[in-house]
Structure 1
Amino acid sequence: MKFRTRVAVAAALAASLCGQSQAATELVIATVNNGHMIEMQKLSKNFETANPDIKLKWVTLEEGVLRQRVTTDIATKGGQFDVMTIGMYETPIWGKKGWLQELKTDAKYDADDLLPAMRNGLSVDGKMFAVPFYGESSMLMYRKDLADKAGIKVADKPTWTEVKELASKIHDPKNGVYGICLRGKPGWGDNMAFLTTLVNTNGGQWFDMNWKPQLESKPWKDSINFYVDLLKNYGPPGSSANSFNEILALYNEGKCGMWIDATIAASFITDPKQSKVADKVAFAQAPTAVTPKGANWLWAWALAIPSGSKKVDAATKFVTWATSKEYIELVAKTNGWAHVPTGTRKSTYANPEFTKAAKFAAAEKAAIDSANPNDSTLPKSPYVGVQFAAIPEFQAIGATVGQQMSAALAGKSTVDAALKASQVAADREMKKAGYYK
């Protein structure tokens, strides 16, 4: 009898242990549908093999949809996601509100190896609330062969006047080459990311020190008139619908003479498997006008854990793995050093294998290092952020203004009318939020 009891107890215990091992922690990860994140999903089987008690479930969304879904989920404490892909706009706002788990990393992770611009942009009061998966600034990417043919040497730090001149010389629509390609698709993180840097370098800002919107100021008028005129004369048709992916496709087909956009594009346009002009591309810093301040943006796509999560330990394991030196080495081993996620770690730029494979490395790092979210405008501004203002209201304001700027570019509105409508909408939103009466 005793023997049978022991056998039964042992069997029950074995079954219980077996059940425990089967009940792996499932992490639901919300991310954006771009190349580096899709690669992360493929390589995550390495993480699951090393951590058999953790299973990963991916929710991959287009950028605009991702922003809406994660914002709604975290604001309502929906708990749909254990790991969220967010950026430098959301992190300081949500961190201050207590919506994100503070990320404490160990010595092996080496947080001091993170580029200061990235670490600071994802921290609040010295506490990190997200870790950077890849970081970026913006820079000028241009066809050196076309510039050479036109007899123009592009400076490392060009002006917008010089860029316009080059665009006019290399614009050749009959042969399918447009002088310049720039974002036109509406969105606070889309056309407005680029346009804010143009406004900054023309000496403008979103809000003055009293939080009054400045959308009808001279720098805004100068910037938007210049932008509309530049794309109307030297850009591809339908520019008002073009975002990063549309322009990337045009560039890789050899249809863009120049492009000012995210530094992360460099790894794609220099890849001979993707780009017909991979060996003809050169790089310079983002163009400047009145001031160098805020001429190039700063962004990181980062991984964060909602506060109140029941799976903090498993989620922390995953986000530290995906943003570690070891992960970068895994991508390099799998796809080559030219394809690693960039803009996050000093050690990547110190690696001779990376700098040899990535001819854009020096220009990219110079752009990231020069971007300062705490001092991005010529007149003093009350907000943090280069290509956005890190306040909750900016998302709605930026989206509305983005629609107006896209309409002006498409010729559906005049620049003055678009800026007036933008000023009215922004003023209404800021009053409603109680910034002033």
Structure 2
Amino acid sequence: MPSIRRALIAGAAATALLATACSGAGAGGSSGEAKSINVLMVGNPQMEDIAKLTKDTFTKDTGIKVNFTILPENELRDKVTQDIASQAGQYDVATVGAYEVPIWHKNGWLQELGSYADKDASFDKGDLLKPMVQSLSGKDGKLYALPFYGESSFLMYRKDVFAEKGLKMPERPTWHQVADLAAKADGAKPGMKGICLRGLPGWGELGAPLTSVVNTFGGTWFTKDWKAKVNSGGFKKATKFYVDLVRKHGEAGAPQAGFTECLNAMSQGKVAMWYDATSAAGSLEDAKSSKAAGKIGYVYAPVEKTESSGWLWSWAWAMPKTTKKADAASKFMLWASSKKYEKLVGEKLGWSRVPAGKRASTYEIPQYKKASAAFGDVTLKSIQQADPTDPGVQPRPTGGIQFVAIPQFQDLGTKVTQEISAAIAGKTSVDKALNDGQKLAEDVAKKQK
């Protein structure tokens, strides 16, 4: 998946890498004698929090030292794919998502984790939200990753700015209503743009919000019989709409803006709206780092032809089969995904920062309900409404909302979004970007038939 966060990530990553270097990388040693494990994770706020809290809690209680390596989303994806696919065995635990788990399980790369969860009564596996369990399970029905937090997507907007401008945000806006509101909110305050939309290349960066827009505009990457549809129909309409909106009323430096940059832009008052992950709300409502805390409204993902359009994702803990420290690694993962850890975050860092979206019980905690009053209900309902098997207006050849659940999509999605990002930068046209993308998609489709 950074401005305010980039400095934090860089510092945390440097510290983590130094710790790893000092303690020695690799997964050597027997599982029963492991005194340290190596964890590779994406540099999102929730991961930064666990890196800060582990030493004085988990390590203190278990004696197991955790060496964190923290990377930005695109770098993380490259690193973890390389390590796990090559069976290098450098890491004992890695953060992966709903896209990777079914594919990597099929390849035999991941350790089954459901049995570990079943043995730990305090973990309460039955409390995990069903969409999260389903997205992190293999075809055999077994759990191959433990969710750290779950998310859908929604629209965030500055309530105070809208009130000052006399603008009204519908609970379930259409994308054309959003474009109109972005035009009216653009310039509402000095230096403020109407909306932030990801423009940074990457199937999980620009590709995630764009594909959810494509779905609701009636488009799809592939039809049920594997015909590529990148340069026609709803895909073309959605992409032109998206590029036009971000070029006219989007954030400064949009072609380089991913989740982290948009989080900073929203939290620092540089944009009036932002469409992105529901998990962003916890950081936005943290008054210690966000100037917009308490000023933001949250509504469902904008639609056009579908009733809903929110995506479904979970950053989750996975254990490569190459690890020789399974016992220690499983203890860390169970702790990191537990109710106990959520309580720790709430008490130490603030309840809005709890890594939510994975457990039903989280939404019944009085302190969390109060801290998430503005966004908790719409987050939970967005997750529950997300349907990876039927996210658009036509049948799909495989699952996935903001991605296509095939191994080739990682490369395809990244290459196509590179072209679309160039269109956002004004270096090429949307038509050329999509025509080039169509050829790439057709090559992928041939291999699927």
Same-fold status (TM-score > 0.5) = yes
The correspondence for 2:212, drawn from 197, 203, 227, is 197
2:90 is matched with which residue? 80
User: Following TM superposition, by how much is the alpha carbon of 1:23 offset from its aligned partner in structure 2, in angstroms?
Assistant: 6.0
User: Following TM superposition, by how much is the alpha carbon of 1:390 offset from its aligned partner in structure 2, in angstroms?
Assistant: 1.2
SS at match of 2:411: helix
Does the alignment pair 1:47 with 2:58? yes
1:349 is matched with which residue? 363
Provide Cα deviations, 1:189-216, integer angstroms capped at 9, x if missing partner: 0001010000000111111112222101
2:46 is matched with which residue? 36
The correspondence for 1:384, drawn from 399, 412, 417, is 399
Counterpart-to-counterpart distance in 2, 1:336 and 1:389? 36
The correspondence for 2:193, drawn from 178, 191, 210, is 178
Q: How many residues are matched? A: 412
Counterpart-to-counterpart distance in 1, 2:250 and 2:421? 14
Q: Which amino acid aligns with 2:190?
A: N
1:255 is matched with which residue? 270
Counterpart-to-counterpart distance in 2, 1:63 and 1:231? 22
Does the alignment pair 1:423 with 2:438? yes
The correspondence for 2:427, drawn from 398, 412, 415, is 412
SS at match of 1:402: helix
Does the alignment pair 1:206 with 2:217? no
User: Following TM superposition, by how much is the alpha carbon of 1:421 offset from its aligned partner in structure 2, in angstroms?
Assistant: 0.4
TM-score normalized with structure 1 length: 0.91
Listed as ranges, the matches of 1:10-409 within 5 Å are 24-45=34-55, 46-52=57-63, 54-103=64-113, 104=115, 105=117, 106=119, 107-124=121-138, 125-172=140-187, 175-293=190-308, 295-358=309-372, 359-409=374-424
SS at match of 1:387: coil
Cα-Cα RMSD? 1.6
Task: Indicate the structure (1 or 2) with the bigger Cα radius of gyration.
Answer: 1
Does the 8 Å contact 2:221/2:235 carry over to 1? no
Gaps of 5+ in 1: 1-19
User: Following TM superposition, by how much is the alpha carbon of 1:344 offset from its aligned partner in structure 2, in angstroms?
Assistant: 0.9
1:3 is matched with which residue? none
Q: Which amino acid aligns with 1:252?
A: S
Q: State which drifts further: 236-245 or 78-87.
A: 236-245
Q: State which drifts further: 124-133 or 224-233.
A: 224-233
User: Following TM superposition, by how much is the alpha carbon of 1:319 offset from its aligned partner in structure 2, in angstroms?
Assistant: 0.5
Q: Which amino acid aligns with 2:448?
A: Y
Does the alignment pair 1:435 with 2:448? yes
User: Following TM superposition, by how much is the alpha carbon of 1:136 offset from its aligned partner in structure 2, in angstroms?
Assistant: 1.0
Does the 8 Å contact 2:203/2:414 carry over to 1? yes
User: Following TM superposition, by how much is the alpha carbon of 1:318 offset from its aligned partner in structure 2, in angstroms?
Assistant: 1.0
SS at match of 1:230: helix
Does the 8 Å contact 2:149/2:358 carry over to 1? yes
Provide Cα deviations, 1:325-350, integer angstroms capped at 9, x if missing partner: 01101111111211111111111111
Q: State which drifts further: 89-98 or 421-430.
A: 421-430
SS at match of 2:123: coil
Aligned CA distance change for structure 1 residues 174 and 158 (closer, same or farther; 3 Å): closer
Counterpart-to-counterpart distance in 1, 2:394 and 2:296? 35
Counterpart-to-counterpart distance in 2, 1:173 and 1:335? 33
Q: Which amino acid aligns with 1:389?
A: V
User: Following TM superposition, by how much is the alpha carbon of 1:149 offset from its aligned partner in structure 2, in angstroms?
Assistant: 2.4
Q: Which amino acid aligns with 1:311?
A: K
Does the 8 Å contact 2:34/2:325 carry over to 1? no
User: Following TM superposition, by how much is the alpha carbon of 1:55 offset from its aligned partner in structure 2, in angstroms?
Assistant: 2.4
Gaps of 5+ in 2: 1-29
TM-score normalized with structure 2 length: 0.89
SS at match of 1:175: coil
Does the 8 Å contact 1:183/1:194 carry over to 2? yes
User: Following TM superposition, by how much is the alpha carbon of 1:266 offset from its aligned partner in structure 2, in angstroms?
Assistant: 0.8
Q: Which amino acid aligns with 1:326?
A: K
1:11 is matched with which residue? none
User: Following TM superposition, by how much is the alpha carbon of 1:399 offset from its aligned partner in structure 2, in angstroms?
Assistant: 0.6
SS at match of 1:108: helix
User: Following TM superposition, by how much is the alpha carbon of 1:238 offset from its aligned partner in structure 2, in angstroms?
Assistant: 2.2
User: Following TM superposition, by how much is the alpha carbon of 1:24 offset from its aligned partner in structure 2, in angstroms?
Assistant: 4.2
Counterpart-to-counterpart distance in 2, 1:69 and 1:272? 33
User: Following TM superposition, by how much is the alpha carbon of 1:98 offset from its aligned partner in structure 2, in angstroms?
Assistant: 1.7
User: Following TM superposition, by how much is the alpha carbon of 1:26 offset from its aligned partner in structure 2, in angstroms?
Assistant: 2.3
User: Following TM superposition, by how much is the alpha carbon of 1:173 offset from its aligned partner in structure 2, in angstroms?
Assistant: 7.0
